[in-house]
Amino acid sequence: MSEEIRELDDIIKQQFLDAGSLEETAEIDLSKIKIEWKQTDYSVNDILELVKTEDIYVPEFQRNYVWKQDQGNEFIESLLIGIPIPSIYLSNFKDNQAEKYNIIDGLQRITTLLKFINNQKYDNNSSASWKLKSNVAEWDGKTFSEFDKVWQNKLKRTRISTIIISQEVNDAEDAFGIFNVFARINKTGTKLSNQQIRSSLNYSENIKRLSILADSAVKKESIKIKETDKKNAGQDELILRGINLYKIMKLDEVHNKITLKNQLNNTAEWLKQTKNPDVISTMDKVAEAIDRYNNLIDSNGKVFYCPIVAKNKTNEVTYTNWTSPLIFETIMYLLIKNENLSKIDFKRYENEMLQQSELKSDPDISKSAFFNNTTSLEKIKRRIDILSECLC
């Protein structure tokens, strides 16, 4: 990979990071957040039943199991011995007026219980049901179904401290607040990305639909992101960024003092309004826009994936390996806004990108629409103008 492309790939990485980090200073007064919580004890059997009935919701992105088998064995042993374990944290949400729960912290523990008690394989590398490894002869080398009934009942009846957190979300600031609370608690466990937190906090049919649309683009290779970004729901974030840009431009909500992270939090919260006519209309437009986007073709007859274009040291035109979030969100905005756009003039796109790449190191940072201080309204509008000339 040339130095120029490596540098531009780093810029793409930064464009994902610009959506915010968990360490970012909150721009709201945390002392004003009103959080309510209650502590209860659920038996292991209760927890498994709540997961089975989807009253405890486990989003697809959270279903990746990362514990090593030694960790799983020790956890099951701890419950059988009676050693107290850390509390599980849940947040509640309404689904057709029924109260359900998202997992804030405790996914690996719950997944471990599901795997062991349901006699599942420990991981994809295992050829048979999980057999516990233990120094206790009665447990060692046995699946849950091979346990003596006494030990089966002991494990299923073990009670686990559970803390349920709730907050009435009435406006954007409340949504930012609960996001920050979720992020702080989540730091103690297996960390989730910002998009994973958003999806969990704002789970709805629209978030599920967004994820399906994003996966279709990844399979089509019209979205190309690194495996680590896929695991962090980066493809979902890209679609959300397109929706966000459409929403803030349509409703004139561009505000330079609000970070992109909090804009995305606000838009994810907005998508929860599944009966809102504007939300319904937007999601229908998004689905149709993704279909057209997946069929955009470059000059070589390959699927278009929003690369940054540059020239290497020998003056050859080269492309980044990955989708640029800034380019993607702008093209998605244009496709959502105008249902008649279905083709891309790739030669023009290439020329526009080459001109922009030459400006990335210009001392006057205002010249480039795709580099340096990219969240200003002026640069957003310039990107829209540039890319609108490439679509037809």
| Poorest-pLDDT segment among 4-13, 40-49, 129-138 | 4-13
What CA–CA distance (Å, rounded) separates 33 from 351?
49
6-15, 314-323, 379-388, range with greatest mean pLDDT = 379-388
Inform me whether the pLDDT recorded for 392 exceeds 70. Answer: yes
> Does position 369 have pLDDT exceeding 50, yes or no?
yes
The answer on pLDDT for 31 being more than 90 is no
Domain edges within the chain:
3-21+192-388, 36-166
Q: In percent, how much of the chain has pLDDT > 90? A: 46
Check residues 196 and 351 and name the one with the higher pLDDT: 351
Q: For the chain, what is the mean pLDDT?
A: 83
Over residues 152-187, the pLDDT tens digits come to: 999 999 999 999 987 665 555 555 566 766 777 666
pLDDT for the residue numbered 63 = 52
* Whether residue 22 has pLDDT greater than 50: no
Cα of 186 vs its chain's centroid, Å:
14
| Residues whose CB is less than 8 angstroms from the CB of residue 142 and which lie 6 or more positions away in sequence, other chains included | 131, 132
Phi, psi of 42 (to 5 degrees): -105, 140
> pLDDT tens-digit profile of 262-290?
889 889 989 988 889 999 999 999 999 99
pLDDT given for residue 26 in this prediction: 42
Cα gap 170→165, rounded to integer Å: 16
Report the Cα–Cα distance between both ends of the chain, in Å, rounded: 32
For the segment 76-129, what is each residue's pLDDT rounded down to a tens digit? 999 999 998 989 988 887 766 778 888 878 888 999 999 999 999 988 777 789
